[in-house]
């Protein structure tokens, strides 16, 4: 009888590993994709803290373009080696290492092929949705990320952070391979006069 809990634990561990493999296989099907996104941030009390929309694109490996257009413009770009976060309003760009920033910006997982990055998370499937949680919660800003699928398309994300906020992102106009928009670039050159904060 004492072997039963161990057997259940091993079965559960294998299932979680399979869920991770399933998610990586689904995402690997897209060499690239793009979409319009809308997002709604709700605080820990259930109040709407922010609504925003913009355009995004990912390309493997680990390239990300996330342009929030309104109500306030911000730009998040990764070329796989550097992650730039640009805020035109305060005229500042912050540079991160993508491997280090994935805990704060788990959208990078959508285009990552790096086993070392994926090994930082546990993954559990729920129908067409996949719940991703950091193994080390101590320093994690994002406490949970759900990737939602609709058929063969990535339908959206639900992001929970340490402050208790829930950020729900819905994709529309999903295209894979990604739409070749001239404005979408996976590299960034800071405009003259912009303050640079290099956190790499």
Q: What is the pLDDT of residues 62-84, one digit of tens each?
A: 899 999 999 999 999 999 899 99
Please confirm whether the linkage preceding 51 is cis (ω < 30° from 0): no
Neighbours of 36 (CB within 10 A): 15
Q: Which residues pair with 157 in a beta bridge?
A: 147, 169
pTM of the model: 0.83
Rg (CA), the chain: 18
Residue 169 lies in domain: 3-198
133 and 144 Cβ atoms separated by less than 8 Å: yes
CATH number of residue 67's parent domain: 2.50.20.10
Q: What is the pLDDT of residues 111-167, one digit of tens each?
A: 887 888 888 889 999 999 999 998 887 777 889 999 999 988 999 999 999 999 999
Tally of domains in the chain: 1
- What is the DSSP-derived secondary structure letter of residue 109? G
């Amino acid at each position: 009888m004492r072997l039963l809990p161990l057997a259940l634990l091993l079965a559960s561990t294998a299932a979680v590993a399979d869920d991770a493999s399933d998610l990586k296989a689904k995402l690997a099907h897209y060499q690239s994709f793009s979409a319009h996104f809308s997002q709604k941030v709700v605080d820990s009390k259930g109040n709407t803290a922010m609504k925003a929309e913009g355009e995004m694109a990912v390309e493997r490996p680990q390239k990300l373009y996330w342009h929030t257009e309104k109500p306030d413009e911000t730009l998040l770009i990764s070329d796989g080696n550097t992650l730039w976060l640009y805020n035109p309003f305060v005229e500042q760009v912050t540079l991160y290492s993508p491997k280090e920033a994935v805990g704060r910006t788990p959208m990078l997982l959508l285009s990552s092929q790096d086993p070392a990055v994926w090994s930082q998370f546990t993954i559990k499937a729920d129908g067409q949705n996949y719940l991703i949680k950091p193994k080390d919660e101590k320093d994690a800003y994002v406490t949970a990320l759900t990737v939602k699928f609709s058929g063969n398309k990535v339908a959206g994300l639900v992001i929970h952070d340490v402050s208790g906020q829930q950020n729900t992102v819905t994709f529309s106009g999903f295209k894979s391979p990604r739409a070749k928009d001239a404005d979408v670039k996976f590299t960034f050159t800071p405009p003259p006069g912009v303050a640079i904060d290099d956190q790499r």
